[in-house]
Structure 1
Amino acid sequence: MKKWLLVALLSSSAQAYEPDRDQILRFEPSPFQNTELNCQRDKDVVPRRSDLVLDHYALLAADNGERVATVTVTNSAGGQRMFNQEHIVAIMADCSRIYPLSFELTLAAGQQETFQIYFGRRAQPVLQLISSH
């Protein structure tokens, strides 16, 4: 009796959560990661000058248009620094430039960290991320 109850509970809890397929993030190719894009649109939207080094990133997107990036950054300064959404800019497929949604990160000298940044729902995919190091 107890076995059946446990199986019933486990199977009902496994069926209780079914993610919305439109919200599932999938990796997108990043063919422009090490290429200089010459997009002229929104050329005045630039990352704030800082000691933030954008080491690597992976782009993700959902069918509902949600755009996310998993980034690895390093503080190249000799002391602790605070970084936020003004330090990274995304170049979109239509050559527009946007800042990610608000975030704040404090890194010690030389510290490296990997985290996610969000760009909200966008019709255009992200082509490239840039920082101003």
Structure 2
Amino acid sequence: MKKAFIAALLATVSSAAIADVDSVLHFTPTPFKDIELNCERDKQITPKRSALILENYALMAANNGERVALVTLRNGASGQRIYNQEHIVAVLGDCSRVLPHAFELRLDAREQRSLQIYFGKQQQPVLQLLSGE
């Protein structure tokens, strides 16, 4: 009985450790960051026009397919604005486009802030981010 319990406990611990490894985010290269991609697929998904300026971003991925971006955004308007997931679009490796998970960001005039935005589990890597500036 004791041996069976220990074996079950070890199996649970080892499977939990494997699951954690698969969900660890790591930075991914961004070779298409400053290149204009001319993809033919899913062009109808575009970021909402705004004064949001995408200053910089770094892409991250996990082995389980989770896609995340660490972005630095700036309000280019002269007044306070609220930005959300409609203002940023990710271009994926198969040239499809996806919006991030819901977020809301209130920025004062010319204010700049960094945050993580999530794109969920995707089979394809994120190639670049687009904003409606």
| Number of residue pairs matched by the alignment | 118
Q: 5 Å matches for 1:27-106?
A: 27-106=27-106
Which whole-Å deviations, capped at 9, do the CAs of 1:13-55 have from their partners, x for residues lacking one?
Answer: xxxx967100000000001111100011010100000000000
1:123 maps to amino acid: Q
Distance 2:34 2:127 in 1: 11
5+ long unaligned stretches in structure 1: 1-16
Identity %: 57
Secondary structure of 1:71 counterpart? strand
Two-structure CA RMSD over aligned residues (Å): 1.5
**3-state SS of paired residue (1:27):** strand
CA displacement at 1:58 relative to structure 2: 0.2
1:131 CA drift (Å): 0.4
1:119 aligns with 2:116: no
- The aligned counterpart of 1:3 is none
Whole-angstrom distance in 1 between the partners of 2:71 and 2:63: 21
The letter of the residue matching 2:123 is A
Structure-2 separation of matches of 1:132 and 1:105:
15
How far apart in 1 are the matches of 2:53 and 2:39? 22
Q: In structure 2, how many angstroms separate the alpha carbons of the residues matched to 1:58 and 1:51? A: 21
The offset of 1:132, in angstroms, is 1.2
> What SS does the corresponding residue of 1:20 show, helix, strand or coil?
helix
Q: Deviation above 4 Å: which 4+ runs of structure 1?
A: none
Instruction: Please give the TM-score of this superposition, normalised by the length of structure 2.
Output: 0.86
Stretches of structure 2 lacking an aligned partner (at least 5 in a row)? 1-15
TM superposition score normalised by structure 1: 0.86
CA deviation after TM superposition for structure 1 residue 85, in Å: 0.2
